[in-house]
Amino acid sequence: MSDLLIRPATIADTEQILRFIRDLAIYENAEHEVLATPEHVHRTLFCAQPAVYGLMCMNGDQPLGFAVYFFNYSTWQGRHGLYLEDLYVSPDSRGQGAGKALLAHLARIAVERDCGRFEWSVLDWNAPSIAFYDSLGAEPQNEWIRYRLTGQALQNLALQAQ
């Protein structure tokens, strides 16, 4: 891991970030769901006061992977948490410690920011990632069911607030 560098993503990384996003979506059989454009990335990751942050994992000038995260809040703990939205390491770079280096860097950020939790989601069929997370001491949170509103259902509920 000594040759790996984890650094904040910059606006110059936009195209690489979008490539990683598409590659992750292909791996997750969801390429058709990717709507992100360079403008979206600029407006969210690289605005004056971002609510979401990116990291790049590099080996020299070679990008190996990336992570996108944000801070949430636990009312029960009275503390922020760090939520990992995406982590992706290109297939030809796996096994070099990039994923672990990204997670360790994020854990350090969480500790430095006094976060009570560091959480993420993984698809239930992604056995290699689940085994990796288990090896780090991460614990699945099976008692919660994740819900999502998108598209017309989101629009319909929003209309009820008017």
Contact 67, 86 (CB under 8 A): yes
In the three-class reduction of DSSP (H, G, I as helix; E, B as strand; rest coil), residue 64 is classed as: strand
What is the C-alpha to C-alpha distance for residues 118 and 115, in angstroms, rounded to an integer? 7
As annotated, the active-site residues are: 133
User: Which pair of structure tokens corresponds to residue 148?
Assistant: 């999502």
Q: What is the DSSP letter of 8?
A: E
